[in-house]
Structure formats: C-alpha cells, structure tokens
C-alpha cells in the first residue's frame, strides 16, 4: 500500500509540475517522463496508451481549427452578438443560453472568449452588473463542454464508456438535460443572489465599444453549415447506433464504432471547407482551437497512459478493488469528493477525465453513476487559471467581477448538476 501511495504522489507531482511549466502540453510530457520512473524504477508493466481518444481529439482539433481559419467562428460570434444585443434586459438568461449553444456545437469553451466583451458591454447598457451574466456564461461554457460531441473531454469519456457498452445516446440522455436545467438554475441564482447595485455613469463611460466583423462570404457561411451538419450526423449516429453500418467478416459481424464515426465526420467537415475555400494549412494548425486540441491531446495521452500503468499494475489493481473499492462501494459519494478535488487541482476537464475515469471504473463504480456526476469534472474555478474566467475578470471595467466571484455560483452549479443528474438517472432507470 505504501509503495502504491508513493507512485500516486509521483504521478500527481509530475502532472502538477507539467501544468505549471507548460499547461496541458507540459502535463502530458511530464506524465510520460513519470512513465519511465514507473517502468524502470518501480518495475510496473506499461499500460495501454489511450490511442483512440488521442485520434478523436486530433480530428476535433483539425475540424475546429479549419472552421476558425475560414472565418466560421467569427461568423458564429456575429450571429450571437445580434441575439445578445437584441435582449439586453434578459442578458443573464440569454447570454448563457447562447454560450451553451455555441460551445455545444463547436466543442470548445474558448468560443466564450469572443462573446464575453459583447456580454459585458450589453449588460452595462442595460444597467446590469456585468459580473452576473459573465459569471453565468463562463460556468455555463464548462457545463456545455461535457455535452458536446465535438469536445475533447466528452470524446474521451465516451470512448471509455464504449468499453462498458454505454452509447453516446445514453450518455447524453443524462448529461444534456442535466446541463440545461443546471444552466437555467444558475441564471436564476446569478439574478437574485448577491448585492444588487446599478452601473454608474462613469463605469458606462469606461466600458469600451466592441467591434464585430459584419460581412462574411457565402462560402464561409456554407462552411459553418457543413460543420454543424457533421456534428448533427455524429449526434444522430450516437443516439441511433443501429443506423451505423455493419459488415460480415469471416462469419463475424463487425460494426463501425462511435469513435470512428466522430473522426469520419469531423474530417468530412474539414474536406468540405478545404474544397470550398483556399486555406493556408499553417492557419489551421496555428488557430486557437487547433492549439488547444494539441494541448488536450497531450493532456489525455500523458496522464491517461501513466494512469493505465499505475492503476492497472496487478498489485495496485488488487489494492484498488479490494481495499479502496470496498470503502467506495459502501460510501459511493466519496467518489464525487475525490473527482472534485482532483479537478480543482488539475483544472483541465480533459486531463482530469484521463486521470480519474480509469480510476473510478477500476473501483467498480457503475458507469452510469459516474455519468450522473460527470459535471464534477468542472470544479476548476477555485484556482483562477481558466482563460475564460481570467478574461471575464479583466474585461469587467466596473471591477466587480473578481477571481473569487465564480466560487459560490460554481459550487451551486455543481451541486445542482449532481442532484439533477442522479434524479434523471433514476427516472430513466439506469
């Protein structure tokens, strides 16, 4: 047991050191270095690398990066700005809804970065504290991320759950309504909780104007449509897996898997955009979405591979299943606390998932139990390191949005998501 604890400490230190040195990329690199220590130092047999998840994340990153390079993301931001500015008095509800829709469709929470200046400016014009819609929108982006079939964290979780015969449709049947209900409850919370003060004339004067590109080519618009249609196709096959092709090979039925479907349609959207528009490939690879995906790729590869080595070693697996597993089985809610603590430290949903999902599954926790509490991966607002959170703080010219402003609403949202998630799980009979 002592040796197992030492191995876990080394694993955590490597991941934290990597995150501090170079973010998600460093997290993956340092975790792979720790792999050497486990194999050569502790004589642990090497585990399996999460190759499938890495391939999915790569396809998502290239597809999203291509959309950004064509101006498709700018076009979506333009559409969102029109809706947000049309309903200024309802911005605490409208802004999170728009953010949810866009993050769900595109698969990256960073799209909220483009919407936050519009949200802040519209709130000030409506004499509403920007802190309220900004807080709700930043936290909602995280909720939506774990619902999106085009998000790296979701793709990784679904790829693992496929091994337990859990389809994307079953996953979304719990996670999607849970996230929507939580988003609405969060907007109510941000509307009524907290001291209400008006925006002063001087604060209005200091809030900068926001310029959004107004004209877009037909090809850009068609590129956005093709991307969203491909995401819709992934959702359709995920909800109705019987639609996927099956083949008879040497007397055995071979089915196309959901992980393959995600890659096929993501690359299809890339091909359509490449055919319609002349794009410099360097613009795709240097886009924010592609760069984030590369970081997420390593954040899954490193910790996921290291975790497979540490937790699947025969002696360690026995400890997890017989000692820790029995405690968790008798007090299952401890898993929620465990995942929340790791998420609080690691911050990245994808990295946290790659560390914790294999651990939780090895403890004998039912897959649907984890899915009901999956939003616990979003306890990443305590340590202020998220780009969307930091940008919201810097953006609010009134000075009322602080790094600590997200903690109470964040835990409220996580608490609601857990309660609603388990209620929906019970109603659906999982």
- Model confidence at 207, pLDDT cuts 50, 70, 90, reads low
pTM of the predicted model, to two decimals? 0.84
Minimal CA–CA distance to 190: which of 144, 133, 140, 143?
Answer: 133
- Model confidence at 180, pLDDT cuts 50, 70, 90, reads very high
Higher pLDDT, 162 or 336: 336
Q: How far apart are the first and last CA of the chain?
A: 34
Question: What's the whole-number average pLDDT of the chain?
Answer: 87
Residue 132 main-chain phi, psi, to 5 deg: -70, -55
Packed helices 51-69 and 72-86: angle between N→C axes, nearest 10 degrees: 70
Q: Is 48 exposed, middle or buried (0-12, 13-18, 19+ CB in 10 A)?
A: exposed
Minimal CA–CA distance to 380: which of 184, 139, 153, 145?
Answer: 139
Minimal CA–CA distance to 231: which of 109, 350, 106, 80?
Answer: 106
Residue 390, pLDDT score: 84
Residue 201, pLDDT score: 55
Top mean-pLDDT range of 50-59, 139-148, 161-170, 393-402: 139-148
Under 8 Å between Cβ of 91 and 133: yes
Higher pLDDT, 145 or 206: 145
**Does residue 2 register a pLDDT over 90?**
no
Higher pLDDT, 253 or 197: 253
Residue 188, pLDDT score: 95
**Does residue 195 register a pLDDT over 70?**
no
Residue 163, pLDDT score: 85
Higher pLDDT, 349 or 423: 423
Higher pLDDT, 233 or 194: 233
Q: Give percent above pLDDT 90 in the chain.
A: 37
Residue 199, pLDDT score: 60
Residue 271, pLDDT score: 95
Lowest mean pLDDT among 24-38, 265-279, 351-365: 351-365
């Amino acid at each position: 047991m002592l040796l197992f604890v030492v191995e876990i400490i080394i694993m955590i230190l490597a991941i934290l050191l990597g995150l501090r040195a170079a973010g998600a990329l460093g997290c993956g690199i340092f975790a792979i270095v720790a792999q050497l220590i486990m194999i050569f130092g502790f004589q642990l047999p090497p585990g399996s690398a999460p190759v499938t998840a890495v391939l999915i994340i790569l396809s998502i990153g290239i597809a999203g990066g291509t959309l950004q390079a064509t101006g498709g993301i700018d076009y979506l931001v333009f559409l969102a700005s029109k809706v947000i500015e049309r309903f200024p008095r309802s911005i605490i509800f409208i802004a999170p809804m728009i953010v949810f829709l866009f993050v769900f469709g595109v698969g990256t929470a960073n799209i909220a970065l483009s919407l936050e200046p519009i949200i802040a400016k519209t709130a000030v014009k409506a004499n509403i504290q920007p802190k309220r819609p900004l807080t709700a929108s930043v936290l909602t982006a995280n909720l939506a991320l774990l619902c999106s079939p085009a998000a790296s964290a979701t793709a990784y979780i679904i790829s693992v759950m496929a091994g337990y015969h859990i389809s994307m449709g079953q996953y979304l049947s719990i996670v999607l309504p849970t996230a929507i209900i939580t988003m609405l409850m969060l907007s109510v919370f941000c509307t009524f909780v907290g001291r209400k003060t008006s925006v002063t004339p001087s604060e209005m004067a200091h809030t900068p104007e926001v310029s959004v590109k107004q004209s877009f080519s037909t090809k850009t618009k068609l590129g956005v449509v093709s991307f969203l249609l491909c995401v819709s196709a992934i959702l359709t096959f995920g909800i109705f897996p019987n639609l996927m092709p099956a083949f008879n090979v040497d007397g055995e039925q071979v089915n196309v898997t959901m992980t393959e479907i995600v890659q096929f349609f993501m690359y299809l959207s890339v091909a359509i955009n490449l055919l319609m528009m002349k794009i410099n490939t360097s613009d795709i690879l240097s886009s924010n979405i592609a760069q984030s995906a590369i970081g997420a790729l390593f954040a899954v590869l490193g910790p996921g591979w290291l975790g497979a080595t540490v937790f699947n070693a025969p002696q360690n697996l026995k400890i997890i299943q017989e000692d820790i597993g029995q405690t968790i089985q008798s007090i299952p809610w401890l898993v929620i606390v465990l995942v929340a603590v790791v998420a609080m430290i690691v911050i990245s949903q994808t990295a946290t998932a790659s560390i914790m999902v294999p651990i939780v599954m090895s403890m004998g926790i039912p897959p649907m139990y984890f899915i009901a509490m999956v939003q616990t991966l979003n306890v990443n607002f305590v340590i202020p390191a998220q780009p969307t959170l930091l940008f919201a703080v810097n953006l609010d010219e009134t000075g009322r949005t602080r790094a600590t402003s997200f903690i109470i609403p964040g835990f409220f949202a996580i608490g609601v998501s857990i309660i609603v998630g388990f209620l929906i799980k019970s109603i659906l009979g999982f």
